[in-house]
Amino acid sequence: MGKRKLIIFTGPSGVGKGTLEKYLFANSRLKLKLSVSATTRKPREGEVDGVHYYFISRDTFDACLADGKFIEYSLHFDNYYGTLHSEIEHISKQGKIPFLEIETNGAMQIVDFYKKHNKLDEIVSIFLMPPSLKELEKRIITRNTESPETISKRMEKAKEEIGYASMFDYVVTNNSIKVAADEVKAIIKKEFKDFFEQNKHKTQEIGRTS
């Protein structure tokens, strides 16, 4: 358990990953840092390069891929997304826990990568499950940003993703965002117990020497 280094957070599009993260990141004691992914998607209004994503061209994405810079990547509704090895290293060096919010296919690639390198004990993977498919559809429709055709594509993909939920360490159902966030917090506190202990000592040492 002492080796834990990384959190993978996944679940179907529209399940509420982003909203739940706001609760988690509001708690600075959890020492989480969101890993910024690279994407070929165009920025949405208010999104900032290097903060929400590294917005890159398809050519640059392909070059990074060829150079082995991604730990995983995925095509998601016509756009490429990928996690850079360098991003994870950078966050770990800051003494923080890298938190990867990625879709299910990419999440499974990371699980496979760590399994292949005999390092499964370094990651904790969490799948956020909608209370039901009906409820997920309602949430996607309420977001009001998708055409009926896209909604049915998202629902198809969601069904496929839910079928893989058991591949992950934890499945948390998002009935109520607050309850689900508390459940995820409890998982992090338990799984990263040693990390928090070590950090407490470090902070005490810093306190003594300064």
User: Strands (DSSP E) along 35-161, which ranges?
Assistant: 37-39, 53-55, 70-76, 79-84, 97-101, 123-129
Binding flag, residue 103, ligand 5GP (CB under 6 A):
yes
- Least Å distance, CB 123 to ligand 5GP, is 15
- Least Å distance, CB 205 to ligand 5GP, is 35
Which CB sits closer to ligand 5GP, 41 or 90? 41
Binding flag, residue 14, ligand 5GP (CB under 6 A):
no
* 37 annotated to bind ligand: no
Among 6, 24, 102, 162, which residue interacts with ligand 5GP (rule: CB under 6 A)?
Answer: 102
| Alpha-carbon span 84 to 81, nearest angstrom | 10
Cα 56 to Cα 24, 52, 70, 117, 126, distances in angstroms: 28, 12, 14, 29, 28
**CB-CB contact of 34 with 25 (8 Å):** yes
Binding flag, residue 41, ligand 5GP (CB under 6 A):
yes
* 46 annotated to bind ligand: no
**CB-CB contact of 34 with 17 (8 Å):** no
* 2 annotated to bind ligand: no
Which CB sits closer to ligand 5GP, 37 or 174? 37
Question: Site residues (CB under 6 A) for ligand 5GP?
Answer: 13, 37, 41, 72, 74, 76, 81-83, 101-103, 106
